[in-house]
Amino acid sequence: MNTRIKELRNTLYLSHEQFAKSINISLNNLIQIEIGIISIPESIVDIICKNYHVNEQWLKQGIGPIFDPSITIYENLKRNKITPLQKIIINAIINLDPDLLNEIVYKLHEELKFLKQYLDIPEKQTESIANTPNKKKIKMLLA
């Protein structure tokens, strides 16, 4: 389970500090969990599954998808308060042509990888951005 905790944290693009805080454990305990020194308490497993909609079977046994497939996007939206405008935007995205949606997701993913260098995210969670064409524009915006 320890390696899956690390995999989840990296999938969520969270630093050790951010993830530890979100599940109410110390940074030291999270690091010890990830490297297998201590096991993760059941109460923390419950918090992780609830807060991040993680498939408990995947977290405990490595079976199935990372995220709980029974949580639909609409159920997730009901759990979180969103504005009417956010709801309209989400519905528009859901109804996009799948090829166009994949292209948008890919471009957003690439831009987020680029922006991570300006956020408080550890280097090992980011990929090289040396050839990103918008680097100068983003630097000027964030300066």
User: What are the boundaries of each domain within the chain?
Assistant: 2-61, 97-143
Would you place residue 108 in the very low, low, confident or very high pLDDT band (cuts 50, 70, 90)?
A: confident
65 or 91, greater pLDDT: 65
- 77 and 90 Cβ atoms separated by less than 8 Å: yes
pLDDT of 73: 66
* CB-neighbour burial class of residue 58 (10 A; exposed 0-12, middle 13-18, buried 19+): buried
Average pLDDT over residues 109-116: 78
Query: Structurally, what CATH architecture does the domain formed by 2-61 represent?
Result: Orthogonal Bundle (1.10)
pLDDT of 91: 78
pLDDT of 111: 83
Q: At residue 34, does pLDDT exceed 50? A: yes
What is the separation, in whole angstroms, between the first and last Cα of the chain?
41
Would you place residue 138 in the very low, low, confident or very high pLDDT band (cuts 50, 70, 90)?
A: very low
For the chain, what is the total number of helices (H) and then of strands (E)? 9, 0
3-class DSSP state of 67 = strand
Q: At residue 135, does pLDDT exceed 80? A: no
CA-to-CA distance for 55 and 49, rounded, in angstroms?
A: 6
pLDDT of 61: 94
Average pLDDT over residues 36-52: 91
